[in-house]
Amino acid sequence: METLTEALTPQTRALSPAAAKLQSRVNHPLLFAGWSLMKLPSALFTGVRLERLEPGRCVTSVPYGWRSQNPFRSTYFAAQAMAAELSTGALGMLAVEDAGVPMSLLIVGLTGTFEKKAVAKSTFVCEQGASVFAAVAAAKASGQSQTFVLDTVGTMADGQVVSRFSFTWSVKAKRRRD
């Protein structure tokens, strides 16, 4: 039987101390840059930033500039995909950290559409944190792999949608090595 804390949505429940520490670190621009240098150097080079990570949503961005631009004077699709993936993956990392057990988190599918030429900073928002926390909890409880789909939408400052991505993630508790 789940406790009241486990039944609450990610937006209303308290994170574990380890997850709260992770959230604090990635929300700090300098600490995030250091983490990116070690784990995601190409994203750091292109200027991908994590703007805000909360249990229910994540906001990332990618600038329009020489490091992220294609020959057609728009933001390169791969730079957009990096920012989009981070907006979903950071939620997964937070949920896995909150679970308190070692887990594998892996992308198993991706679709994307491009609607408008990205000629300014693009911001990606994923608001499906509840789905992530539910899948991680199910994987922890069952020991079985769980898959979930997270959608993220990239917009420019004027509100125009530049791209939409759907990432299919798989999460599974790691087996203990004895």
Superfamily of domain 18-173: Hotdog Thioesterase (3.10.129.10)
Q: Report the pLDDT value the prediction gives residue 122, as an integer from 0 to 100.
A: 96
As a three-state string, the secondary structure of the chain is CCCHHHHCCCCCCCCCHHHHHHHHHHHCHHHHHHHHHHHCHHHHHHCCEEEEEECCEEEEEECCCCCCECCCCCECHHHHHHHHHHHHHHHHHHHHHHHCCCEEEEEEEEEEEECCCCCCCEEEEECCHHHHHHHHHHHHHHCCCEEEEEEEEEEECCCCEEEEEEEEEEEEECCCCC
pLDDT of the residue at 176: 67
Mean pLDDT, consecutive 10-residue segments, the chain of 178 residues? 44 78 88 88 90 95 91 91 95 93 93 94 96 94 93 96 97 77
Domain ranges of the chain: 18-173
* 142-148 contacts at long range (C-beta below 8 A, 24 or more positions apart): 143/172, 143/173, 144/172, 145/170, 145/171, 145/172, 146/170, 146/171, 146/172, 147/108, 147/171
